[in-house]
């Protein structure tokens, strides 16, 4: 298990870190972050932020909703104290992960199995505090097909 701790305190809504130094990759990997609805819309963070763990009750959002990559960032979803582990809800960026896993976050709302937003209801993703626009679009398409 890897982890990343906050070096300072943050209040809910505050930008924790811009996403800088990232590089687009031709296909998804275990460490990539999905930034758009396409199968090839993935990037590597190329920073210590790659060590942020998943949680079903996250304290940060990886916000890649802006059409401008320079505006992409980690944002606090709740107040974070210095030393707290930074966690985000992986399905908020990932539609269909290359490698699902059994979740061990031990939160009350733990989903137990994490595979991507494709396998969850909209409510299950939204109740974690944030949903990226590309995930919202993919959920809309999926839900239209299921009607």
pLDDT digits (tens, 9 = 90+) for 56-72: 999 999 999 999 999 99
Find, among 31, 36, 88, 27, the residue nearest to 57 by Cα.
88
Between 110 and 26, the higher pLDDT residue: 110
**Would the pLDDT of 51 be above 90?**
no
| Torsion of the alpha carbons at 143, 62, 3 and 55, rounded to the nearest 10 | -40
How many C-beta neighbours within 10 Å does residue 73 have? 19
**Would the pLDDT of 44 be above 70?**
yes
User: Which band of pLDDT confidence, cut at 50, 70 and 90, is reported for residue 88?
Assistant: very high
pTM to 2 decimals? 0.88
Question: Residue 144 carries which DSSP code?
Answer: H
- pLDDT above 90 covers what percent of the chain? 69
User: Which band of pLDDT confidence, cut at 50, 70 and 90, is reported for residue 45?
Assistant: confident
Q: Where are the domains of the chain?
A: 15-146
User: Which band of pLDDT confidence, cut at 50, 70 and 90, is reported for residue 1?
Assistant: very low
The token pair that represents 90 in the structure block: 């992986």
Find, among 120, 64, 122, the residue nearest to 88 by Cα.
64
Q: What's residue 147's pLDDT?
A: 56
The answer to whether 4 touches 87, Cβ cutoff 8 Å, is no
**Would the pLDDT of 48 be above 70?**
no
Q: What's residue 2's pLDDT?
A: 52
């Amino acid at each position: 298990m890897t982890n990343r701790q906050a070096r300072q305190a943050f209040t809910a809504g505050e930008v924790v870190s811009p996403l800088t130094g990232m590089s687009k990759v031709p296909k998804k990997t275990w460490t990539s972050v999905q930034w758009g609805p396409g199968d090839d819309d993935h990037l590597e963070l190329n920073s210590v932020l790659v060590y942020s763990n998943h949680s079903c009750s996250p304290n940060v959002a990886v916000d890649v909703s802006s059409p401008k990559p320079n505006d992409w960032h980690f944002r606090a979803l709740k107040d974070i104290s210095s030393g707290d582990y930074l966690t985000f809800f992986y399905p908020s960026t990932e539609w269909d992960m290359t490698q699902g896993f059994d979740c061990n976050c031990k939160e009350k709302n733990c989903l137990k199995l994490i595979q991507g937003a494709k396998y969850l209801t909209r409510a299950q993703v939204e109740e974690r505090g944030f949903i990226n626009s590309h995930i919202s679009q993919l959920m809309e398409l999926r839900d239209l097909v299921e009607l």
